[in-house]
Amino acid sequence: MSSKQDQSGYTQDIISVECNFEEFPFTCVGLKNLSTMKEYYYERWIKDLSTKKAIKQEWRMIAAPNDHLPGPFDLDVKRALDKIVFTTGIENVVQSKKISFTIYEIAEILQLPVGGSIYKHIRQSLKRLHTTRYESKNAFFLKSKKVYVDDSFYIIERLNLKEASENASARTHVTVYFGSYYVESLKAFYTKPLDLAFYLSLENPIPKRLYGILDKRSFASKRIVYDLVELAKVIPLSSHVPSKIKERLSPWFAELKDRGFLSEYNFYTEGKTKKIEIIVSNANQTTKLAPEEVFFVSEIMAALGENPKSRAYYEEVCRKVDRNLIYRAISEVKEEETFGEIKKSKGALFSAKIKRYLSEIER
């Protein structure tokens, strides 16, 4: 885990998150009447990078018969699970397909007050994340096979809640068994870094969701353009009327700018389409490296045998790239060196691999 102090005073807490669930709506943070929401459908057209053809992607959330779709609190609980996956170690989770923790640990990660009502909400949220079904048609990207999944699946395949004692819900021992597609995605390191501390410092669920969406998109380009209606559907919001979307989102874009995540945003009209242009700031990436990250840069240089001129580049990589991806790139470079397959320098091969990983994240 990487932690460091940023300019606004909070301590960063960098974790890894799976990429598909940053790209598609898996909770309903801005929908009215959530308690009656049983299903949500989302579609879009994209260009397939391998075939260069336009394909239609369809994504559906389906609640359990006796429940509703996941909401804002469920998004927070999912982030807490992401944290536990990261601290457990992605490779360990891939091997066991599970994580274990207590209800208290979730409350502690989310900085929630200790109490029976909070523990009850956490238990309900875990059950909802377990029972919500997702349907993908050309949507969920399976990086290991470079295909889009046509199937239905669950994030949590099995959920075991074991009471430590009758009156000790805080110590309820929980085991989450992840679904096969989710595990396969982790195995292929189809992940990206996310600052959990920054996420938790945002009090409203809409900027929390915007942060996840925009942070992922910013890996390809700091300039992001969204059709307002498309953005409303992926958050998702109840209204798809451009003027209402702008009214609903404006204060949250202003907050993200004030907090330094965005450097600029601009609503404009192109033809008859209402759009927003967003410039993601480098503020969170230009913070001075923490001591453990300085050591990590030296570790990279020792592994690749690069000269001191490469240090600035590796520092930039450490700021922007998930540590699991960096280790994976170093491992692959060493493997190719063993078999004499390196045509240029190890540093050049490492750089090429990092660029490829980040481009794959943007699929």
What pLDDT sits at residue 10? 59
| Tokens, residue 307 | 């000269």
What pLDDT sits at residue 221? 81
| Tokens, residue 300 | 């990279």
**Amino acid (one-letter) located at 2:** S
What pLDDT sits at residue 290? 62
Where would I find the beta strands (DSSP E) of 154-261?
A: 156-162, 173-178, 191-195, 223-227
What pLDDT sits at residue 322? 80
Angle, helices 323-338 vs 291-304, to 10°: value is 20
CATH class name, domain 217-280 = alpha beta
What pLDDT sits at residue 163? 64
Nearest-Å Rg of the Cα atoms of the chain is 21
Give the pTM: 0.81
| pLDDT tens-digit series, residues 49-85 | 677 789 999 999 999 999 999 999 999 999 999 999 9
Write down the domain spans for the chain: 13-201, 217-280, 291-361
Please enumerate in sequence order all residues whose Cβ is within 8 A of that of 360, keeping only pairs 6 or more positions apart, or say none: 143, 190
Please enumerate in sequence order all residues whose Cβ is within 8 A of that of 125, keeping only pairs 6 or more positions apart, or say none: 70, 73, 74, 77
Please enumerate in sequence order all residues whose Cβ is within 8 A of that of 4, keeping only pairs 6 or more positions apart, or say none: 11, 12, 287, 288, 289, 290, 293
Low-confidence ranges of the chain (pLDDT < 50): 1-7, 166-167, 283-287
DSSP 124: H
C-alpha distances (whole Å) from 178 to each of 142, 148, 154 are 15, 19, 8
What pLDDT sits at residue 1? 40
CA 328 – CA 333 distance, rounded (Å) = 9
| Tokens, residue 254 | 């202003």
| Own/partner pairs, 279-283, CB within 8 angstroms, 24+ separation | 279/222, 279/223, 279/224, 280/214, 280/215, 280/217, 280/218, 280/222, 280/223, 280/224, 281/222, 282/222, 283/6, 283/7
CA 361 – CA 359 distance, rounded (Å) = 5
> The dihedral of CA 231, 86, 263, 320: what is its sign?
negative
